[in-house]
Structure 1
Amino acid sequence: MAKRLAPLLNRVLVEKIVPPSKTSAGILLPEKTAQLNSGKVVAVGPGARNRDGQLVPVSVKEGDTVLLPEYGGTEVKLGDKEYHLYRDDDILGTLHD
């Protein structure tokens, strides 16, 4: 049975992007230079309510590539895949080509 996680409130489910460890020519890259802490948004919650009771939607959408903080998030394992759950305001920005 496949499980699907639907985040609540202003939570965002992210699958971290693992950078390649070597170039197409076969040159091994040092671990630190290859890392950009980014991920792909898999699912988003509906948003949180402000003091007036109005719904404030999440600022990212499914499929966005986002820049993540170095620490934080909650690790979630669904089947054989590993995801991280962040609050919307913990995400540092979106990455565009």
Structure 2
Amino acid sequence: MSGLRSIKSLVPLLDRVLVQRAKSEAKTASGIFLPESSVKDLNEARVLAVGPGALDKDGKRTPMGVAAGDKVLIPQYGGSPIKVGEEEYTLFRDSEILAKINE
């Protein structure tokens, strides 16, 4: 994505949710480092930003199910990937978020 220097300048529209997938541990509990090919992507992510919500048939905003800072469960596949520098982010629709994780 050209021109995007910071993910903070990206503002989701409608019912979109910007998340960053949690990174898997590349090291076991005993300290053994695992090769990248054996480290699977986790389905957990941190919500960075949310849109204002979609409009219903009457033109009223539908409230979003998650907020910035929430920890969520996301689908293994899907979403729109965004890369800024070396960091990877994904945009999902609010309805695609599987669950909110209460810590």
Smaller-chain TM-score bracket: 0.7 to 0.9
Query: In the aligned structure 2, how far is the partner of 1:41 from the partner of 1:25?
Result: 31
Unaligned runs of 5+ in 1: none
> Partner letter of residue 23 of structure 1?
T
Task: Give the TM-score normalised by the residue count of structure 1.
Answer: 0.85
Match of 1:8 in 2: 13
Match of 2:89 in 1: 83
Q: C-alpha displacement at 1:27, in angstroms?
A: 4.3
The runs of at least 4 aligned residues of structure 1 exceeding 3 Å deviation read 27-32
1:85 match: secondary structure = strand
Contact 2:24 2:39 in 1 (8 A): no
Q: Does 1:36 find its partner at 2:36?
A: no
> Partner letter of residue 13 of structure 2?
L
Work out the number of aligned pairs and report it: 95
Alignment of 1:8-87 (within 5 A): 8-27=13-32, 31=39, 36-87=42-93
User: Root-mean-square deviation (CA), in Å?
Assistant: 2.0
1:89 match: secondary structure = helix
* CA deviation map 1:27-80 (0-9, x unaligned): 467645xx5311000110000111111111211000101000111000001233
* CA deviation map 1:2-38 (0-9, x unaligned): 4310000000000000121223421467645xx5311
Contact 2:22 2:46 in 1 (8 A): yes
In terms of fraction of residues, the more strand-rich structure is: 1
